[in-house]
Amino acid sequence: MIAASASPRPGPLAVRSTPIPGFLRLDLTVHGDNRGWFKENWQREKMMALGLPDFGPVQNNISFNDEVGVTRGIHAEPWDKFISVATGRVFGAWVDLREGSSFGTVYTTVIDPSVAVYVPAGVGNAYQTLEPATAYTYLVNDHWSPDGDYTFLNLADETAAIPWPIPLDDAIVSDKDRTHPRLRDVTPVSATSRFGGGGQGRRVLVTGANGQLGRELLARLPRAGFTATGVDLPDVDISEAAAVAAIDWSAHDVVVNAAAWTDVDGAETPEGRRLAWRANATGPANLAREAVRHDLTLVHISSEYTFDGTIEPHTEDEAPSPLGVYGQSKAGGDAAVEAVPEHYLVRTSWVVGDGGNFVRTMASLAGRGAAPSVVADQTGRLTFTVDLAAGIIHLLSAGAEYGTYNISGRGPVVSWCDVAGRVYELLGHRPDEVSPVTTAEYFAGREGVAPRPLHSALDLSKIEAAGFIPGDSMERLESYVRAL
């Protein structure tokens, strides 16, 4: 147990750490004269610069207390708080009720107009008034719900041993607060609780859940300790702002956007252009808005089609240069996602998983004895959804720095023709049954064909430096084909 106290003192704005991880004490600047005093009780820019998290408050509450000795707590809700007083003084006490090594750690201090505290979700909060007519005020970043799961600790718990200035027998305490459990009977607040933090154990909403990546994520996230929920059309259309806003975001900590319009040629038609922009740009923008509003981590899947394919390999900081409508719409969605403070923009290419894809098409042709012509001047690496999903889970679990990451398979850079020939070979056919052609030759005489980037290989040094090593794409191809 760790206990501390401090006397109030006016002075320069400062943010100080405490023995409870993530719990911060703030010394506020109070300006006084013969008329009274003034302070900036909440100043986002200045406080963030000194280390206060940008926790996104959505509600301000004030508790007015008539008498000395009013005592409330110990309550741990699944949201963060910024606590201060407008008038009077309180003795504040906090107990870490989150699971982990700091469970049961205590911090106390006196809060007057010159002191404030930042209380992370899961830390039990209590106070006792030291002056009459005390106005206790707090900002929170979520709304109370009658269905919420809240944790409590008894004010008189012997293990916490809070040194109340006024003995609890003499204090004004509600009957409900007197009946809260002792620390030994408290179930620690888990990482799955809203704003509970931690890499694993969080609640993930997967959009595009019926796609190749969506299915892989829903299978793998629970194995990694996450709670996963999937949505897809027609139940949820992310391009509809009202539908996205109507989602109960308090039930999620992370949203992975695996939804997309991927008909590259269809996007070049008048109707397809509108649908592509709705799914690939408007949809991510709607998710980005809610991610900021509800303090969510947003993972968004991008494409190498945001580039013109003249540079190889593509790095994370390459400027967008899309050739066609599909790539343009994906670049639009990427720009919206990059405005979210907690985002992972995952760029990938040539995705293969459980569903319709190039490898399955080639296997089907081989089974029918067809001898296809396949482009040989478009090069890149296959990305199997087992690696793409595992890479996303690694970013979330490891708490990697937010930003853009390339994720594809490793191994040699090959052409679509190389891949097709290898599929034929693995299925007992001659690889030369696949004829190489150029992109121009393949699409000669066809209308409504989207331009393709010729070079799609992605630089993987950033994701590998973050601790994730994807599998070799051609080795994955062998296993995939043999499992068909």
Q: Contact 425/481 with Cβ under 8 angstroms?
A: no
3-class secondary-structure state, position 336? helix
3-class secondary-structure state, position 304? helix
75 is catalytic: yes
138 is catalytic: yes
> Of 127, 136, 138, 326, which one is the catalytic site residue?
138
Distance separating alpha carbons of residues 316 and 308, to the nearest angstrom: 14
3-class secondary-structure state, position 182? coil
Q: Alpha helices of 12-73 — where are they, by DSSP H?
A: 44-49
Q: Contact 191/198 with Cβ under 8 angstroms?
A: yes
Q: Contact 173/13 with Cβ under 8 angstroms?
A: no
Q: Contact 331/453 with Cβ under 8 angstroms?
A: no
Q: What are phi and psi of 111, to 5 degrees?
A: -110, 120
The first and second tokens of residue 372, run together, are 């296809």
Distance separating alpha carbons of residues 322 and 408, to the nearest angstrom: 19
Chain CA centroid to CA 15, Å: 26
Distance separating alpha carbons of residues 258 and 231, to the nearest angstrom: 10
Which residue, 144, 138, 147, is CA-closest to 117? 138
What is the radius of gyration, based on Cα positions, of the chain?
A: 28
Active site residues: 75, 138
